[in-house]
Amino acid sequence: MSISLPSTGTIALGGRTVHRLGFGAMSLTGPGVWGPPRDRDAAVRVLRRVVELGVNLIDTADAYGPYVNEEIIREALHPYPEDLLIATKVGYVRTGPSQWHAVGRAEYLRQEVEMSLRRLGLDRLDLLQLHRIDPKVTLEEQLGELKALQDEGKIGAVGLSGVSVEELERSRRIVEIASVQNRYNLSNRVYEDVLEHCEEQGIAFISYSPIAKGALAVPGSAVEHVAKAVGATPSQVSLAWLLARSPVVAAIPGTSSVAHLEENLGASTVSLTPEQLGELG
């Protein structure tokens, strides 16, 4: 298939320049993001196809599985291509399927960074994101420990996930923040103010769950109408809209299917007119 990722533009992350259309690996786990995927070989094939198609940003986390996701990435791709950025996250403890608990104690964050390095087979995590801020632990302790790990050379850049503008600015007083990863798509723009702030400050905004679902993607919707007009799928239009939204945005759609992966990356060939962008809102 013909895919031209350079047409999506690039963004600076973790000391690297990566295409703004990346891959979120969370789907390559069991139900509830718990345990191994039903078909591990298929998960490996998806990851290898990701790299074959030129994607050089893969997002994961120690909590996906937990641990399983990072292990599969290493199995599929190590030794890694020189231009590949694997962004991972720490700060969540898992107690079962769909159960997530923020833990930001310094000793725990340090332990998980060390274990992610081992699982991924890396000497440094080029982009390490605090998965969630733990309200029971001071922000200074959480980000202070990540800064210490950065100073030791075990972390390249520090990012945040699921944060407000106020939390972002408090964090920036402790350590330089390279990226924010929040949920954002055509259907869910709760973090519009965070995206706008990131754009003003030149901070990368990584959109997770980037494909519009629900009312905006049903038959007869604006998404479907635009998709028919440009000869694309609703998923591709959702991603193209997102990449057009701001030059600081990177999108990390995930899937456990090679066919769906190729469909998503086909968004790189979709060009939307100002009128179509206006119709999408």
Q: Which domains does the chain have, with CATH numbers?
A: 9-209+247-253 (3.20.20.100)
CA separation, residue 18 to residues 8, 138, 217 (Å): 10, 32, 29
Q: What is the reported pTM? A: 0.96
The per-residue pLDDT string of the chain (281 residues; one tens digit each, 9 = 90 and over) reads 667 788 889 999 988 999 999 999 999 999 999 999 999 999 999 999 999 999 999 999 999 999 999 999 999 999 999 999 999 999 999 999 999 999 999 999 999 999 999 999 999 999 999 999 999 999 999 999 999 999 999 999 999 999 999 999 999 999 999 999 999 999 999 999 999 999 999 999 999 999 977 666 678 889 999 999 999 999 999 999 999 999 999 999 999 999 999 999 999 999 999 999 999 98
Q: Which residues contact 23 (CB under 8 A, 6 or more apart)?
A: 50, 55, 57, 58, 59, 252, 253, 254, 261
Kindly compute the dihedral angle of the four CA atoms of residues 91, 189, 174, 100, in this order, to the nearest 10 degrees. Answer: -10
Give yes or no for a cis peptide into 66 (omega within 30° of 0): yes
User: Which pLDDT score, from 0 to 100, does residue 39 have?
Assistant: 98
Kindly compute the dihedral angle of the four CA atoms of residues 279, 191, 14, 84, in this order, to the nearest 10 degrees. Answer: -50
User: Which pLDDT score, from 0 to 100, does residue 169 have?
Assistant: 98
Active site residue 80: no
User: Which pLDDT score, from 0 to 100, does residue 84 have?
Assistant: 98
Q: Which of 64, 92, 184, 191 is catalytic?
A: 64
- In three-state secondary structure terms, 104 is coil
User: Which pLDDT score, from 0 to 100, does residue 1 have?
Assistant: 61
Q: How far is the C-alpha of 77 from the C-alpha of 80, rounded, in Å?
A: 5
